[in-house]
Structure 1
Amino acid sequence: MSKEQAHYRLADELGGIEILNARYRHQQFSRHSHEGYTIGVIASGAQRFFRTGSNHVAPQDSIILVNADEVHTGCSASVGGWSYQAMYPTVEQFSQVSEELGCHKLGAPYFSQAVVEDALVARTLRASINALEHSSNRLQRETLVYSSLQLLMSRHAKTRPQPARRGHARPNLAMAKQFLDEQASENISLSELAKLVNLSPSYLVKQFVKCYGLPPHAYQIQARLRLAKSLLRKGQQQLDVALACGFHDQSHFSRHFKRALGISPGRYAKELHA
């Protein structure tokens, strides 16, 4: 396998859907999450990853499904590494497809299986990603995206399980998450965050991990990376982005970005503006 590569594109469809064509051998993705879904098709090799409390292996031609905000990792499960194509529709984009296709009751889908082997869906996903990457025919691109997401939902989407509620902890945790999402650059302490949502620090950490898969400080990093991506898309410089998002310096920012996204922030920005 040749050197590691990752090519990101931001397509206009659905208000801007991110796609990735990647080839990795040594990349080890840290525990991270995306604002949107991860839908990937393994082109060669195999990938090992953590999702929903356990580890999974996705062989060649299988489909990786990670729900929005779901913590996951990624590394090679084969000697030569792995390559894959992926798209990252947001909850809003998936809901839009669902509504426009008449699937009102489904809304944003939930995928209970982390890996599925479905040759038909894999072919349609590959076709839609290839079209987004190479075709200039807007009608073809949008048709393939809608068709592939509809097919994926109809064959593999489930009803999202309702989490068990524990007194007033759930809305308090949601409030803490909302603060970290909306004030990603804020240098808030655990004590301050706990006081803000009327919970003890130890209880907040324990329940936040249980609910969102990461402790508050690690989730804050994910929120900062999401903000950073949006600023890079707008053409802002790396150092300005790093400081605006609350990172100590550009090196600290780059390290976290590469571990979560498999590409440096500079390369990410260059790919999107190519």
Structure 2
Amino acid sequence: MHQPNLTDRHALAGSSFWRHAALSFIEARTVADGRSVCYARHSHETFSVGLIDSGSSTYINGRHECRIDAGTLVLMNPGDVHACNPIESQPWAYRMLYVDAGWLANLQAELGLGRSGFRCFTPTLTRDPSLQTGFRRFHAVLIDEYAEHLQKHSAAVEFFGAMHRRLGMEGVAPMSDPKLRRAAEFIADNYQRSLKLEEICSAAGVSPSGLIRSFKKHYGMTPHAYLTNRRVQFARAELRRGMPIAEVALAAGFADQAHLQRAFKQLLAATPGHYRGPRRI
């Protein structure tokens, strides 16, 4: 029987996820062999930070594209369109942390960083030695099944506090085009049903050609890719709750479970079943 207050760990083919009911603001993923883990460009509602443990990979974050090597910490703010993929089948390994933006926003307020809401980090990567060490130390405590909740939570506050002290933060975010913002909001509000390009354009007050061109330039993905990403992020949250995959697929707006399977694997490099882990009973 699944114990909801205990750690939820599940692995498949060199990739494993870690979650804990008492630390619902954070999730971890470890990939021992990144050659079989490929991502399409996507974004998360969470803040993501990861450490490359070995090898090298490509890294895309917005307009920033480069090669990253062992020891690099990558940072993705909520909404950042990104992807990391192997280089010509060369082996590489990494660990990722996905952190609730609301939890981080509260920590930022406690640290005296001002302004309500999550404040984005400026760098997309860092090789800061102390943060590398801090990440390894925190990750070890986080996944340690014998470590107490107090120790794990305290380690989270310590590590992310250090990140805020050592890395630059963005100032006031630039205003985005209101028409594009309306288009994105319309998709976000209606992603669970089939959408037509014409109705998105009507809601935003922009022509189809203008929307396709400008939306991709601003958000890093087409309106359809943005819609699919939103559906996958909803599915991710529902699967994390242990909901049946077939029910999640329909609730997210996919035609069926197979459609969810393809999109989920393309964006998150994991099947819905692998991500959800053992069925809770």
TM-score by structure 1 length?
0.88
- Aligned twin of 1:183: 190
Distance of 1:212 and 1:236 partners within structure 2: 30
How far apart are 1:106 and its partner, in Å? 8.9
Inter-CA distance 46–184: structure 2 relative to 1 (3 Å threshold): same
Q: Deviations over 1:57-114 (max 9, x none)?
A: 2211110111211111111237542111111113212111111223225963433332
1:31 equivalent in structure 2: 41
* Structure 1 residues 65 and 243: alpha-carbon distance in aligned structure 2, compared to 1, 3 A threshold: same
Match of 1:125 in 2: 135
Q: Tell me whether 1:66 sits opposite 2:76 in the alignment.
A: yes
Q: What SS does the aligned partner of 1:154 have?
A: helix
5+ residue gaps in structure 1? none
Structure 1 vs Structure 2: percent identity of aligned residues?
26
Could you say what secondary structure the match of 1:38 adopts? strand
C-alpha spacing 1:80/1:13, structure 2 compared with 1 (3 Å): farther
Note if 1:103 corresponds to 2:122: no
Which of 90, 94, 100 does residue 100 from structure 2 map onto?
90
Structure 2 residue aligned with 1:226: 233
Distance 2:22 2:219 in 1: 29
Is 1:203–2:213 an aligned residue pair? no
Q: Deviations over 1:172-225 (max 9, x none)?
A: 322222222232212110101111222222222222212211111100001000
Pairwise CA distance, 1:44: 1.2
What's 2:261 paired with?
254
Shift of 1:34: 0.8
CA–CA separation in structure 1 for the residues paired with 2:174 and 2:213: 16
> Which of the numbers 251, 267, 272 marks the counterpart of 1:265?
272
Secondary structure at 1:70's aligned position in 2? coil
CA contact (8 A) 1:26 1:75 kept: no
- Residue 245 of structure 1 and its aligned partner are, at CA, apart by 1.3
Secondary structure, in 3 states, of the residue corresponding to 2:28?
strand
Q: Return the alpha-carbon distance in structure 2 between the equivalents of residues 4 and 240 of structure 1.
A: 26
* Mapped contact 1:13–1:142 kept (Cα < 8 A): no
1:214 aligned counterpart, secondary structure: coil
SS of equivalent residue, structure 2 residue 247: helix
Structure 1 46/78 Cα, relative in aligned 2: closer, same or farther at 3 Å? farther
2:182 is aligned with 1:156: no
Q: Does structure 1 conserve the Cα–Cα contact (< 8 Å) formed by 2:15 and 2:31? A: yes
8 Å contact from structure 2 (residues 264, 272) kept in 1: yes
Contact 2:121-2:168 at 8 Å conserved across structures: yes
Partner secondary structure for residue 124 of structure 1: helix
Q: Distance in 1 between matches of 2:138 and 2:233?
A: 25
8 Å contact kept, 1:86–1:129: no
Q: By how many angstroms is 1:239 displaced? A: 1.5
Question: Structure 2 vs 1, CA of residues 205 and 161 (structure 1 numbering), >3 Å: closer, same or farther?
Answer: farther
TM-score by length of 2: 0.86
**CA distance in structure 1 between the partners assigned to 2:243 and 2:117 by the alignment:** 34
Gaps of 5+ in 2: 1-11
CA distance in 2, matches of 1:11, 1:98: 23
Distance 1:16 1:219 in 2: 24
Paired positions, count: 268
